[in-house]
Amino acid sequence: MKYDYLIAGAGLFGAVFAHEAKKKGKTCLVVEKREHIAGNIYTEEVHGIQVHRYGAHIFHTSDKKVWEYVNQFAEFNQYINSPIARYRDELYNLPFNMNTFSKMWGIVTPEEARKIIADQIADLQITEPQNLEEQALSLVGRDVYEKLIKGYTEKQWGRDCRDLPAFIIKRLPLRFTYDNNYFNDRYQGIPMGGYTRIVEKLLEGTEVRLNTDYLAHRGELDGLADKVIYTGMIDQFYDYCLGVLEYRSVRFETEELEQENYQGNAVVNYTEREVPYTRIIEHKHFEFGEQPTTIISREYSSEWKKGDEPYYPVNNEKNDSLYGEYKAKAENESRVIFGGRLGSYRYYDMDKVIASALELCEREL
Ligand code: FAD
Ligand code: UDP
């Protein structure tokens, strides 16, 4: 065998594994079907602005070990994510906090906010929320649900809020303080110079073949290495033999504008159903950019079909059970290890992907 490991996918998971393997004296070949490395955290510089080609990425974590790990490869700026939600001509702060409630109801104190929420849901008698709608109503009341959650969520997921699991909305902080930080994590920022640079550094000294689909060349590639680390879609690996796992996909409409500042914030969510996109990202604001032009991306959410980029796994009962069947097959593989967000059919933030790659390294290397 020519290599110890063949790594399918040059995203964050594959790159962390390749870096650690190299440090331990192992040899790896990375194959990547796209024309570039870095997977979905890929950023490219356009007129001095780092453009997040596959959607805005903000690094945030409470895991000190992961934070120290990633800081070896980049210096992070002081960016704190504070999106604005736009409902028609009304603007609100996110995540849901006293600024949001004060604007919505003209109130001042946490006590007033809690009372309004309680009054709005008193007749609903929700004890254990069974779906996203019940969860949202019980957390923030009817007004916030109707204006800031219902339309956005139904655009994002293409499903009624009553057919979505409650946990999706629990990702967001809810606070009765005047604090617009979208995350509760201890560490947060954007890598200066972009994410692609991090992955370049992780892959330094490792052979990478771009435009190479592992599944299309499996026979030949399998002969090159003792083991395979596979970070693509698990159902595709098995040729969808048990069924197809559902995803949401996103289309990005990106344009450069001849103006310095388009929307005054990196992220503006459009929460009404009638606007076809979910949000607009203005990339320069992630880095406090002062370039003369600006670049924005509108995000349109759609149902994934074969050939599209898979972005968000749809973790409902049906899909999770199908994933369980694929996982059982995967566990019987002696030469192949599945990892990353597609290999595990989970929405993993970058810090979780790094943590799980490092765990694998500890077990495997
Ligand atoms: P990927 O980045 O998907 O890498 C997998 C790679 O494998 C890809 O390059 C793919 O082309 C390649 N591949 C697949 N199949 C094959 C094959 N058969 N042969 C060869 N190559 C193959 N996380 C955060 O922490 N903060 C955020 O703000 C954030 N925002 C996000 C926004 C969006 C819209 C999305 C979709 C995700 C976001 N994430 C965010 C999550 C983040 O993108 C992931 O945690 C991370 O990219 C996962 O890395 P990965 O290596 O597991 O997967
Ligand atoms: N959400 C919402 N309104 C918003 C922002 C988020 O209703 O303005 C809900 C929506 O259901 C979304 C979930 O909260 O899927 C999680 O939001 P997050 O910002 O974490 O989504 P992501 O950035 O991963 O797309």
Each residue's pLDDT tens digit in the chain (365 positions)? 799 999 999 999 999 999 999 999 999 999 999 999 999 999 999 999 999 999 999 999 999 999 999 999 999 999 999 999 999 999 999 999 999 999 999 999 999 999 999 999 998 888 999 999 999 999 999 999 999 999 999 999 999 999 999 999 988 999 999 999 999 999 999 999 999 999 999 999 999 999 999 999 999 999 999 999 999 999 999 999 999 999 999 999 999 999 999 999 999 999 999 999 999 999 999 999 999 999 999 999 999 999 999 999 998 899 999 999 999 999 999 999 999 999 999 999 999 999 999 999 999 99
pLDDT of residue 315: 87
The Å distance, Cα 39 to ligand 1 centre, comes to 5
Nearest CA to ligand 1 atom 13: 9
Alpha-carbon distance of 59 to 188, in angstroms, equals 6
pLDDT of residue 171: 85
Other beta carbons within 10 angstroms of residue 170's beta carbon come to: 14
Show the tokens assigned to 321: 């059970």
- Which three-class secondary structure state does DSSP give residue 225? strand
Alpha-carbon distance of 352 to 18, in angstroms, equals 17
pLDDT of residue 75: 98
Q: Is 353 in the pocket of ligand 2 (CB under 6 A)?
A: no
Nearest to 228 by CA among 241, 214, 216: 214
pLDDT of residue 40: 98
pLDDT of residue 309: 93
Q: Is 311 in the pocket of ligand 1 (CB under 6 A)?
A: yes
Q: Is 55 in the pocket of ligand 1 (CB under 6 A)?
A: yes
- Record the pTM: 0.97
Other beta carbons within 10 angstroms of residue 237's beta carbon come to: 23
Residue 244 has phi, psi (to 5 degrees) of: -105, 125
Nearest CA to ligand 1 atom 15: 232
Active site residues: 171, 175, 248, 279, 299, 347, 349
Q: Is 2 in the pocket of ligand 2 (CB under 6 A)?
A: no
pLDDT of residue 1: 76
Nearest to 214 by CA among 3, 2, 7: 7
Long-range contacts, stretch 207-211, CB < 8 angstroms, 24+ apart:
207/28, 207/29, 207/30, 208/10, 208/30, 208/31, 208/32, 208/37, 209/29, 209/30, 209/31, 209/32, 210/10, 210/32, 210/34, 210/35, 210/36, 210/37, 211/32, 211/33, 211/34, 211/35
Q: Is 33 in the pocket of ligand 1 (CB under 6 A)?
A: yes
Taking the CA atoms of residue 31, residue 35, residue 37 and residue 43 in that order, the dihedral angle to the nearest 10 degrees is: -170
Single-letter residue type at 86: R
The Å distance, Cα 164 to ligand 1 centre, comes to 23
Which residues make Cβ contacts (< 8 Å) with residue 151, sequence separation at least 6? 87, 271, 272, 273, 274
Nearest CA to ligand 1 atom 39: 349
Other beta carbons within 10 angstroms of residue 81's beta carbon come to: 20
The Å distance, Cα 18 to ligand 2 centre, comes to 32
